[in-house]
C-alpha cells in the first residue's frame, strides 16, 4: 500500500458522508497521514440570454449555504478528529475547487464518493470522474450505493 502523507476528503455533507469519511480516516490512520476535509458550495446556475452561466443567483442564499456548510463541516471534523485549520469550505466548481485546494495544501490523495447512476457516471459519478481526470495526485473513489 502506498504511504500517503496528506489526504483530502471531499464531502457533500449529509449524503453518504459516513462511509466515505470512514474510508479516508482509516487510510490516514493506517499511514499516519494528515487528513483534511473540503465541501464545495456550487454557484447556482442560472439561464441568461439563452445560455447557462454558473453565477450566484442570490448572494444571501449563497452566504447562508456557506454558513450551513461550515457548521456541518465543523461537526464532521470533530467526529473525525480533523482540526479546524484542515477544514475547508470553498465556492464555485467542485472539480476546480477540489483540485486547486489539493495542490495548495499538498494533498497526495483525494477521496471522493461515487454516486452516479447512468453510463460512465454510474461507474464513477460525474463529479468523481471530473476530479479524477483533473487531479495531479491519486484519487480514490468510494462507492456509496450498491
Convert the pLDDT of each residue in 98-134 to its tens digit.
Answer: 999 999 999 999 999 876 554 444 444 578 888 989 9
Smallest Cα–Cα separation from 3: which of 138, 135, 132? 138
Q: Distance between CA atoms of 93 and 40, rounded to whole angstroms?
A: 8
pLDDT at position 110 is 97
Convert the pLDDT of each residue in 73-93 to its tens digit.
Answer: 999 999 999 999 999 999 988
pLDDT at position 142 is 87
DSSP state at residue 113: E
pLDDT at position 54 is 53
pLDDT at position 17 is 76
**Given pLDDT bands bounded at 50, 70 and 90, which one contains residue 12?**
confident
pLDDT at position 65 is 84
pLDDT at position 127 is 81
Convert the pLDDT of each residue in 13-54 to its tens digit.
Answer: 866 678 889 999 999 999 999 999 999 988 665 555 555 555
Q: Specify whether the CB–CB gap between 38 and 97 falls below 8 A.
A: yes
Amino acid at each position: 500500500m502506498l504511504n500517503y502523507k496528506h489526504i483530502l476528503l471531499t464531502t457533500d455533507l449529509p449524503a453518504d458522508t459516513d462511509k466515505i469519511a470512514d474510508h479516508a480516516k482509516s487510510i490516514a490512520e493506517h499511514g499516519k497521514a494528515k487528513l483534511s476535509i473540503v465541501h464545495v458550495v456550487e454557484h447556482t446556475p442560472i439561464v441568461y440570454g439563452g445560455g447557462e452561466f454558473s453565477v450566484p443567483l442570490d448572494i444571501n442564499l449563497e452566504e447562508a449555504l456557506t454558513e450551513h456548510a461550515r457548521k456541518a463541516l465543523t461537526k464532521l471534523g470533530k467526529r473525525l478528529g480533523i482540526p479546524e485549520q484542515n477544514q475547508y469550505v470553498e465556492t464555485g466548481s467542485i472539480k476546480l475547487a477540489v483540485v486547486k485546494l489539493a495542490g495548495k495544501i499538498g494533498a497526495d490523495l483525494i477521496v471522493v464518493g461515487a454516486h452516479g447512476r447512468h453510463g460512465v457516471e454510474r461507474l464513477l459519478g460525474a463529479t468523481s470522474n471530473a476530479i479524477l481526470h483533473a487531479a495531479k495526485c491519486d484519487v480514490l473513489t468510494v462507492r456509496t450505493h450498491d
